[in-house]
Structure 1
């Protein structure tokens, strides 16, 4: 595991554990992704946008503040919260797979709670597999790859490739201005197409 900025080992471990919570709990990922997209929000705005009960919203906000991935920008009520940028590069235990956890990937993970195709893909291929699929989804929206090419590269069925590409399409369009300037692999730093060790 490495971190793109110079931090002490304790900070890196804390950052990793904080991000691990986001990747394990789609509701937390949704809240973080909303703040990352909208730039700031109050708890009431989070409740309205994400259809959360008041107690749940405060619990999630407090957990993410404690984890250090969001912070309050005001001391007065209502407090306004912002997301801290996450850019954490992770190497899998086998050492062969590496990917970067960014707000875009966290947004995709957060959608597993409401999108069965993303949920199934993560169950079968893990977060590293989803990171790779996200890279292909960006390239697909730019007209550079097809679902068949993705399927061949990753040794999965064309149907599975098409389903995950369709499921990730809203994420890509939410975070990248494809029609005006396009997006590149560099826009999803560290997401490596060689992450293919997952079972089909």
Structure 2
């Protein structure tokens, strides 16, 4: 569900509305993220993996199919479903930031119920803020930034930056190809600390 600027505004609005529930309901986000990790799965797989009651699992799968973010891939019993790719860029209300709704962001939102750090970060900074933090988390895992630089850029405490970066670490490693090149995180953090001590 990738959208580009040559498509009509109606298509873009429809696509945004179709993923809005994923950003508001962590259980739907968990279901989408599970299907995105698998090539395809049955409702029984979903029930087992996500510990959902049968009625709830069918209801959630049907909602995601209706929203056009999940598709039926095998119509014979047992029916199989797969996640559609989502890559939708939106701009914040103030117009000062853009962020992209991706499977990684949806996965992070889905972890909200089981991860207090992600939950608190969304409460304080919104899903747009979480998208920004995810960008920093990818950069950190690639050895390109530190929690202190993130904190300075976003005007948050270094502790808050470290906590969300740690919370997003597993999301980053599941969705992004992180190369082992570059400085280690410990080296970057200690270099950053040494620089601060020199001031």
TM-score, with length taken from structure 1: 0.86
2:80 maps to 80
> For each residue in 1:106-127, what CA deviation from the matched residue of structure 2 results, as whole angstroms up to 9, or x when unmatched?
1111111111100100111111
Question: In the alignment, is residue 173 of structure 1 matched against residue 173 of structure 2?
Answer: yes
Q: Across the two proteins, how many residue pairs are aligned to each other?
A: 181
Instruction: Compute the displacement of 1:180 (Å).
Output: 5.6
> For each residue in 1:47-76, what CA deviation from the matched residue of structure 2 results, as whole angstroms up to 9, or x when unmatched?
111111111100100100111100101110
Question: In the alignment, is residue 47 of structure 1 matched against residue 81 of structure 2?
Answer: no
Q: Which has the higher contact order (CA 8 A, sep 6+)?
A: 1
The separation in 2 between residues aligned to 1:106 and 1:4, in whole angstroms, is: 20
Residue 180 to residue 162, structure 1, CA distance change in 2 (3 Å): closer
Alignment of 1:148-167 (within 5 A): 148-167=148-167
Residue 6 to residue 33, structure 1, CA distance change in 2 (3 Å): farther
2:82 aligns to what SS in structure 1? strand
2:112 maps to 112
1:41 aligns to what SS in structure 2? coil
> 5+ residue gaps in structure 2?
183-199
The separation in 2 between residues aligned to 1:177 and 1:85, in whole angstroms, is: 17
> For each residue in 1:102-158, what CA deviation from the matched residue of structure 2 results, as whole angstroms up to 9, or x when unmatched?
111111111111111001001111111111110111111112211111111111001
1:90 aligns to what SS in structure 2? strand
The separation in 2 between residues aligned to 1:108 and 1:86, in whole angstroms, is: 14
Asked which structure has the greater CA Rg, the reply is 2
The separation in 2 between residues aligned to 1:79 and 1:112, in whole angstroms, is: 29
1:126 maps to 126
The separation in 1 between residues aligned to 2:12 and 2:179, in whole angstroms, is: 36
CA contact (8 A) 1:4 1:87 kept: no
> 5+ residue gaps in structure 1?
183-200
